[in-house]
């Protein structure tokens, strides 16, 4: 055998082995996309209606078996208080699992901050959850295919496949990911995927007494949530990151990050 043939042979063998077998069943993107164009789950949050009671957070934890006593939570509610001196104070004590029952802003070790009512110019609550992004960076960075996007637009985590490397936790610009305190794998909101496929609403939307949270289907023009998203001034969080989040907010303003 000539030296040249030897090198050629080796190169082919190594290159062939390094192509994952799955590459062979690559399919046409347009074809597959068209297959599920009737369903795309989205979420609508109305920040005017939210009163910061935190029932959504409590319900979510019960529904998805995340211990109430831990700080880990799939969804949480933030409080924003703007004062006359132009400052923005924000907090979310324990994710608002027990709701907002005090006027004082929680600043952790810096101690509570009391703000006089007359100094407040604006104040409201903003529920947060996974945005089930159209171009989810958490999925892009997952090295093993444990985090993925379903054809109906929900990003799921395969618990048997997650190796716990934490790339998705770092990759998500919204900080919605964490490690499950019991399962010890990457965890996040999945729009209660099990519930919405049985025709039920998500646990948080079910528990919310004020209708501040709603799940909808973007591909159904008669869906009440879709109608709001299409006809009203809705915003999304951190649009500049380009992940195309699919949780829409009514009454969002600049101070909310």
Partner 1 sequence: MNNHIWRPLYVVLALVAVILLVRAVYVPKDFGVHGGEGYMYGWYREGNVQEWKEWPSNYRTQSYCAECHFDQTEALVAAGHAAIQCENCHGPALDHPNEPAVLTIDRGRDQCLRCHARLPYPGSDRKHLPGIEPDQHNPGMACVDCHNPHNPSLEDM
Kindly tell me the sign of the dihedral angle through the C-alpha atoms of 27, 30, 31, 34: positive
Nearer to partner 1, 33 or 230 (CB): 33
Which of positions 22-41 make contact with partner 1 (CB under 8 A)? 22-23, 25-33, 35-36
Are residues 198 and 222 in contact, defined by beta-carbon separation less than 8 angstroms? no
Task: Tell me how far, at minimum, the Cβ of 185 lies from partner 1, in Å.
Answer: 12
x/- track of binding to partner 1 for residues 59-88 (CB under 8 A): x--xx-x---------------x-------
Q: Which string of b and e fits 43-75 if b means at least 16 CB within 10 Å? A: bbbbbebbbbbbbbbbbbbebbebeeeeeebbb
Which of positions 164-183 make contact with partner 1 (CB under 8 A)? none
Binding site for ligand SF4 (CB under 6 A): 50-56, 77, 125, 127, 130-133, 136-138, 155, 172, 174, 176-177, 188, 207-208, 210, 212-213, 243
Task: Tell me how far, at minimum, the Cβ of 29 lies from ligand SF4, in Å.
Answer: 19
Q: How many angstroms separate the Cα of 151 from the Cα of each of 81, 181, 233?
A: 39, 29, 27
Nearer to ligand SF4, 60 or 229 (CB): 60
SS3 state at 213: strand
The size of the interface with partner 1 (CB under 8 A), counted in residues, is 76
HSE of 197, CA atoms in CB hemisphere, 13 A = 8
Which of positions 138-157 make contact with partner 1 (CB under 8 A)? 139-140, 145-146, 148-151, 156
Are residues 73 and 97 in contact, defined by beta-carbon separation less than 8 angstroms? yes
Nearer to ligand SF4, 204 or 229 (CB): 204
Choose, by CB under 8 A, the member of 99, 173, 181, 235 that binds partner 1.
Answer: 99
Q: Find how far residue 117's CA is from the centre of its chain.
A: 33
Cα distance between residue 122 and residue 39, in whole Å: 37
Kindly tell me the sign of the dihedral angle through the C-alpha atoms of 166, 236, 125, 106: positive
Q: Work out what residue 93 binds among partner 1, ligand SF4, none; the CB cut-off runs from 5 to 8 Å by kind.
A: none
Q: Work out what residue 135 binds among partner 1, ligand SF4, none; the CB cut-off runs from 5 to 8 Å by kind.
A: partner 1
Task: Tell me how far, at minimum, the Cβ of 143 lies from ligand SF4, in Å.
Answer: 15
């Amino acid at each position: 055998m000539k030296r040249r043939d030897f090198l050629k042979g080796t190169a082919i063998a190594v290159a062939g082995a390094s192509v994952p077998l799955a590459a062979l069943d690559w399919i046409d993107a347009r074809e597959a996309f068209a297959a599920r164009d009737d369903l795309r789950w989205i979420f609508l949050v109305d920040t005017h209606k939210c009163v910061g009671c935190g029932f959504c957070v409590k319900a979510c934890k019960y529904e998805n078996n995340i211990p109430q006593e831990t700080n880990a939570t799939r969804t949480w509610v933030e409080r924003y208080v703007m004062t006359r001196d132009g400052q923005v104070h924000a907090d979310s004590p324990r994710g608002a699992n027990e709701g907002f029952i005090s006027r004082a802003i929680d600043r952790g070790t810096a101690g509570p901050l009391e703000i006089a009512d007359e100094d407040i110019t604006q104040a409201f609550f903003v529920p947060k959850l996974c945005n089930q992004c159209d171009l989810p960076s958490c999925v892009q960075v997952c090295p093993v295919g444990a985090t993925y996007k379903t054809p109906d637009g929900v990003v799921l985590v395969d618990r048997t496949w997650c190796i716990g490397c934490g790339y998705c936790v770092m990759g998500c610009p919204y900080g919605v990911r964490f490690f499950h305190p019991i399962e010890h794998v990457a965890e996040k909101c999945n729009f209660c995927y099990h519930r919405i496929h049985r025709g039920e609403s998500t646990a948080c939307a079910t528990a919310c007494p004020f209708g501040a949270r709603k799940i909808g289907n973007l591909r159904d023009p008669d869906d009440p949530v879709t109608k709001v998203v299409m006809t009203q001034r809705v915003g999304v969080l951190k649009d500049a990151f380009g992940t195309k989040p699919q949780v829409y907010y009514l009454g969002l303003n600049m101070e909310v990050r």
